[in-house]
Amino acid sequence: MKDMDHVAPTLEDIEELARETVANLPPAFREEAQKVAIRVADFAPDDVLEEMEMEPFELTGLYDGIPMTEKSNWDVPQKPDTVWLFRRPILDEWAERGDVTIADLVAHVTIHEFAHHFGWSDDDIAAIDQWWH
């Protein structure tokens, strides 16, 4: 992969970094995480931003699905669980910070969104995401 700490990554680059993050999750979570779709767009859709009362550059990621802690064997999935990453807000935060690599920031956002899927606590997230240290 090209040196992304000096060039803005593409949608595909962000997706690849997110998939690498999933591949590096602890074994207890990796298999289930690989069942979740990962999608990357430049920005969240307007209706999502309106519903969440957020501006376009405020939302770096979104989990769209039913958390595992709330699923039932009786549930009939209407759509796949999906982790969305929003490239432009991620790039904006990366540029503003200036003290993290793009790979670390994408991993952080990815793990945060998977935390919604798994129903992780802040302590659970901290055990997996070294960002908190």
Query: What does the alpha-carbon distance between residue 121 and residue 66 come to, in Å, rounded to a whole number?
Result: 16
Taking residue 127's Cβ as centre, other Cβ atoms within 10 Å add up to 12
Using a pLDDT cut of 70, give the percent of the chain over it: 92
Nearest to 89 by CA among 22, 44, 39: 44
Which CATH code of 3.40.630.30, 3.30.2010.20, 3.40.50.2300, 3.40.1000.10 fits the domain covering 11-67+80-132? Answer: 3.30.2010.20
Q: What is the pLDDT of residue 21?
A: 96
Side-chain-side CA neighbours of residue 22 (13 Å): 21
Split at pLDDT 50, 70, 90, the class of 125 is confident
The domain segmentation of the chain, as residue ranges, is 11-67+80-132
Split at pLDDT 50, 70, 90, the class of 55 is very high
Query: What does the alpha-carbon distance between residue 130 and residue 111 come to, in Å, rounded to a whole number?
Result: 10
